[in-house]
Structure 1
Amino acid sequence: MKMKKQLKTAGIIILAVVLMLLLGVNSWRISAPTAVLVAPLAGLVAVSMTIGLGTVSGVATALVGGLGLLLLASADWPLVLNFLVLALLVGWLIGWHIPLGQRVTQQQLIWLGIVAGISEFILNLVQVALVGALTGAGWLIFIRLALLPSVLTALLYAVLVGPLAMFWRWLGRQVLPPEEQEGDSENSPQGSVEIDLSNKDKHKQK
């Protein structure tokens, strides 16, 4: 049964990688003085997979999809690192895995999309600045060129991550065995519950 689950999960990851490749190949590009900058649109697929099926699935999607884009000359190593860091960041934010039997509200998905968009905006500008500094063209010039595309990319993350995550979770419920949908942890909550993304622990008042 475990092998069957792994094979079905791998099938969903392959579907996500194909979508990631399509987005990566068709992402807009910016001609900089010493390099061509590619908008990291493909990363939103990996982020949505992290929310939908867990950090392992999200990181696997980011890694395989990033390597595929490298082979297609539609990405470079800093961009692949961008995908991986963002998937890990969102994975840490959600506690690494949200069981499929656990309820996630639309409001929580919206906030996760906004956080992913802001994080991607910052990561992209840092990446662009490093590329500009390392190539000797000047980091400020690269940031100016990438500023507007970075804003548009962040907006797309904020809008699309939530719906895509909902799709992966729906697909997981349809494909994965019901007994495997409660998560890998023995302490995973059962039934329909909401997760608290605020991380605010209330102390008992004496």
Structure 2
Amino acid sequence: MKALVINCTLKKSPETSNTEALFRAVTGQLEKDGVEIDVVRAVDLDIAPGVVSEAVHDGDAWPGVHERILASEILVIATPTWLGQPSSVAKRVMERMSGMMSETDDDGVPAAYNRVAGVVVTGNEDGAHHVISEITGGLQDIGYTVPGQAWTYWNQGPGPGPSFLEGGSGHDWSRRTARAMAANLLGVARALEARPLGPPPQ
């Protein structure tokens, strides 16, 4: 079993990512259960605007990310919150993933079927539930299965304040919820592996 995390932080490597600090609680639990972890920091790549899986221009990195998505049974979109919204990077990733809606395997099974997905959100402002709803709604449209409680988040609360790694409260809750998220993602992924969905009826 393989899991891919797409980190949609605005910070390029090697800058510290609060979003990564939280998603590592999810991947740590998955690794304990034998899942292989792959991580993409999308902002480090040239991902062009578009709604197709093929390259939009020379140097467009999306086809390589698309291959890594298809190689994984579990997908986690991890994003900070800005103005109560997913990051612009997360929106670009979702935009490109919409190209998967028209992709099937040789038996007519949609590309995202029999795969599970979840969301990690951080931010020193509120809006996490809105961000989770936006991203999980898009992932379900594409064909992913989103288990119950397949998310975790941390935010500082009303007003300005520190980032996840700088302080604040609620870290234990966020990490505990992350471990539950990992267990739910893996449990449903294993169920779909054992009893996969077939092509939609015609």
Q: TM-score range by the shorter chain?
A: 0.3 to 0.5
Greater percentage in helix: 1
- Is the radius of gyration larger for structure 1 or structure 2? 1
Greater percentage in strand: 2
* TM-score in terms of structure 1 length: 0.34
* TM-score in terms of structure 2 length: 0.34
